[in-house]
Amino acid sequence: MLYKTIIGLEIHIEPNTNSKMFCSCPQNHFGAKPNSQTCPICLGLPGALPIANKEAINKTIKLGLALGSDISKISKFYRKHYFYPDLPKSFQTSQKDNPFCIGGELMGKKINHIHLEEDAGKLIHQDGNSLIDFNRSGCALIEMVTEPVFHNVEEVISFTKELQLIARYLDISNADMEKGTMRLEANISLSTDHGLQSTAKLPDYKVELKNINSFKFLEKALIAEIERQTIALDNSEKLVQETRGYDENTKTTFSQRTKADSHDYRYFVEPDLAEIKLENSKFEILNSKLPELPEQKRKRFAEQYKISSDYINILVSDFDRANYFEVAVKLDPSLTKSIADLMINKQFDKKYAAASLVRKLKEITNVEYSSQSDLEEAIREVLYESPDIVTSYKNGKGQVIGFLIGQVQKKLGGKGNPNMVNLKLTEELTNKNF
């Protein structure tokens, strides 16, 4: 039986602030010695009191603005109570009603809200003991909750990747799954109702997939879980509301035995934190223009530079590389294509500064050699004139390129820049459909 997959996401992003959410300990805890970045506040010691980090709020608002959310006029922090050793106060300071950002959308997927909270410590299991490291306790954490509007794994992956990119473009976080600065939880259920309206009934259960720390595992875990649920439903088994993790060894998901549905968090407004009034005077971010976002950049590159959409996607997916490209092209717009080629095919941007790369290219193309246009013309002619050779090349006989090079040089009177001839010829052979 074919079921409709329904997935909602909860994505946590650790903002790259200097200090934690409610105290002045360092926010960046990657690689730090355990329990070396703590104070009475993030240790939840008796008598300690929180004060909110302005920049963490700024970054949260920035994300909301970029995704078209409504920014609440008044926002409050709440205490969310539960007992667990990595939660030192036995409550997490988070948000409930009045989160900072309400609604929003990315790639056509609706966002429910974005809120700000503090993280718990880290538990490490060793020799029958659990060890707690509180370096992460009290770190600022931005949480985005989407509506249950994903219906296949690809959508989830591309959404998450785009969100990661946006976080980097906005400079709010590195959003690195492996380092834990971006974490994802997926709520999955299968429905027999294939109705397209949003009023289609949601199933009476959902399974929460947690502790996934890479895109690769995310994909596998989702697929494994959808399969498990499909089989269960096919066998008329009742699926329960639960939390599951993914086991790479067995390539299946496993239950994490929680009382997932019996949590009464006893929320109330945190009296130690004054409410936040989001006014332009206090939060300049509300007034400022946002930096260019990835989708905007892609559109602009397509208009401004004559390079393929594949190339554009690769460049835009890395904020620094896209910048490098633009700096280089500005130095010599006529070399646009070559710059893109060298960056993407030969990673030249890893070795050379933009100005150096351009200089090198100029050397290749200018000094005593045939012009770029003559060279390209010659290559086109040779390829056109030697279809059999091209076919041989395409069938795996790489060595025939030598013959083609010779032909090109003949046409150019030997004045072709060898490197450029090689490069261009290879490009034409692999890119064109002959």
Partner 1 sequence: MNNIPLTIKETQEGLKSKKFSAVELVDSYLAQIKKHNDEYNIFLTVTEELAYEKAKEIDQLGDFSNPLSGVVTSYKDIFLTKDVRTTAGSKILDSYIPQYSGTVVKKIEQAGGIMIGKLNCDAFAHGASGENSDYGATLNPWNREYVTGGSSSGSAASVAANMSLISLGSDTGGSTRQPANFCNLVGLKPTYGAISRYGVIAMSSSLDTVGSLAHTVDDIEIMYDVLKGEDGLDGNVLNARRYTLNPRPKLGIAKEYFIDGLDSEVENMILDVKKTYEKMGIEVVEISLPHTKYMVPVYYIIQPAEVSSNLGRFDGIRYGNDRNSFGEEAKRRIMLGSYVLSAGYYDAYYEKAMKVRTKIIGDFDEAFKTVDAIISPISPTPPFKLGENTKDPLKMYLEDLYTTSANIAGIPSLALPSTFSKSGLPIGFQLMGPRFSEHQLIELGKKYHQEIDYKPKTAF
Partner 2 sequence: MAKLTKKEVQHIADLSNLTLTDEEIAKFTPQLDKIIEFIATLSEVDTTNVEPTSQTTGLTNVLREDEIKVDNMLTPETDYYKVPSILQNRS
Min separation Cβ 318 and partner 2, Å: 26
By CB under 8 A, residue 30 contacts partner 1: no
The beta strand positions in 137-216, using DSSP E, are 140-146, 182-191, 207-212
Contact with partner 1 (CB under 8 A) among 21, 52, 328, 344: 52
Residues 265-284: x where in contact with partner 1 by CB under 8 A, - otherwise, as a string? -xxx--xxxx----------
Residues 282-321: x where in contact with partner 2 by CB under 8 A, - otherwise, as a string? x---------------------------------------
DSSP structural state of residue 190: E
Strand, helix or coil for residue 408: helix
Residue carrying structure tokens 């019996």: 262
By CB under 8 A, residue 18 contacts partner 1: no
By CB under 8 A, residue 190 contacts partner 2: no
Q: Which of residues 115-154 bind partner 2 (CB under 8 A)?
A: 120, 123-125, 128-134
257 binds, among partner 1, partner 2, none (CB under 5 to 8 A by kind): partner 2
Residue 149: partners with Cβ closer than 8 Å, 6 or more residues away:
8, 109, 110
Neighbours of 77 (CB within 10 A): 27
> What is d(CA 108, CA 98) in angstroms, rounded to the nearest whole number?
24
* Cα 357 from chain centroid (whole Å): 29
What are the structure tokens assigned to 368, written together? 């005593």
By CB under 8 A, residue 123 contacts partner 1: no
Contact with partner 2 (CB under 8 A) among 71, 102, 239, 273: 273
Q: Long-range CB contacts (< 8 A, 24+ apart) of 392-400?
A: 393/429, 394/429, 394/434
Of the two residues 26 and 180, which places its CB atom closer to partner 2 in the complex? 26
Only segment of 15-23, 186-194, 197-205, 393-401 that touches partner 2 (CB under 8 A): 15-23
Q: Are the CB atoms for 283 and 289 separated by under 8 Å?
A: no
DSSP structural state of residue 85: T
> What is d(CA 96, CA 92) in angstroms, rounded to the nearest whole number?
12
By CB under 8 A, residue 184 contacts partner 2: no
Contact with partner 2 (CB under 8 A) among 82, 254, 384, 434: 82
> What is d(CA 356, CA 58) in angstroms, rounded to the nearest whole number?
38
89 binds, among partner 2, partner 1, none (CB under 5 to 8 A by kind): partner 1
**Phi and psi, residue 187, nearest 5°:** -100, 120
* Residues near partner 1, by CB under 8 A: 40, 43-52, 79, 81, 83, 85, 88-91, 264, 266-268, 271-274
Residues making contact with partner 2 (CB under 8 A): 17-19, 23-26, 33-41, 43, 51-57, 76, 82-87, 90, 120, 123-125, 128-134, 243, 256-260, 263-264, 266, 268-271, 273-277, 282
